[in-house]
Amino acid sequence: MTLIPRGPLLFDTSAYIRFFHHNAWSWLATRRERFERTILTAVVAAELYAGTRSAEEKQAVDELCLAHRSLGNLSSPSAELWLEAGVLLGRYKRIYGSLRMADHFRDVLIALEAAGHHATLMTENAPDFVRWQRLFRSAGKGLIVFDLRKWSEK
C-alpha cells in the first residue's frame, strides 16, 4: 500500500475523469482535509469542461471549480509559466527529437503548476509525467509525481 503524500496535491485530468465517470477516488469528495489541500489548475478544469457529456457533468465541474475558488485553491498559469512551458517543450525536442506540441503542452503546464505550488502531481498517467519530471530535474526544477494506479485506500 502506498500512502497519499502530505502537503499540497494537484490532480491531473485523468484522476478527475476517473472520479466523475467511474465514481473512483471518492475520497476527493469525502475527505475534507485532502480536498482542502488540493489545488485545481484551470488547465485541468478546461480539459474537464471540454470532456463533459451532459448538463449534469458540466454542473459537477462548475461545483468543483467553485469549491476550489472558495478555498483559494483554483490556480491559473501565469504568462511566465506559459513561456516556460514553451522553453521546456523546445528543450525536450532538442534533446529527444520530434514532439507533437499539441499532445504535451497541457501536461507541461499542469506539471509547472504543480512544481510552482510545491504540490505532488497525482496522476494515472505517470509515465508521461515522469518523463517531464526528468526534464524538469535537468532544468533545476523539482516535480513530485504520484502514480494513482499504485495507490489503495485500504
Q: Please indicate, yes or no, whether the overall pTM of this predicted structure exceeds 0.85.
A: yes
The strand pair at 9-11 and 144-147 is best described as unpaired
- Does 1 reside within a domain? no
Q: Which residues contact residue 40 at a Cβ distance below 8 angstroms, ignoring those fewer than 6 apart?
A: 10, 11, 64, 65, 68, 73, 74, 75
Interior CA angle at 78 toward 32 and 137, to 5°?
A: 80
3-state secondary structure at position 11? strand
- Does 122 reside within a domain? yes
- Does 62 reside within a domain? yes
Q: Which residues pair with 121 in a beta bridge?
A: 10, 145
Number of domains making up the chain: 1
pLDDT digits (tens, 9 = 90+) for 36-95: 899 999 999 999 999 999 998 899 899 999 999 999 999 999 999 999 999 999 988 888
Domain range for 27 is 9-150
Residue 43, domain CATH: 3.40.50.1010
- Does 45 reside within a domain? yes
CA dist 58 and 51 (Å) reads: 9
- Does 73 reside within a domain? yes
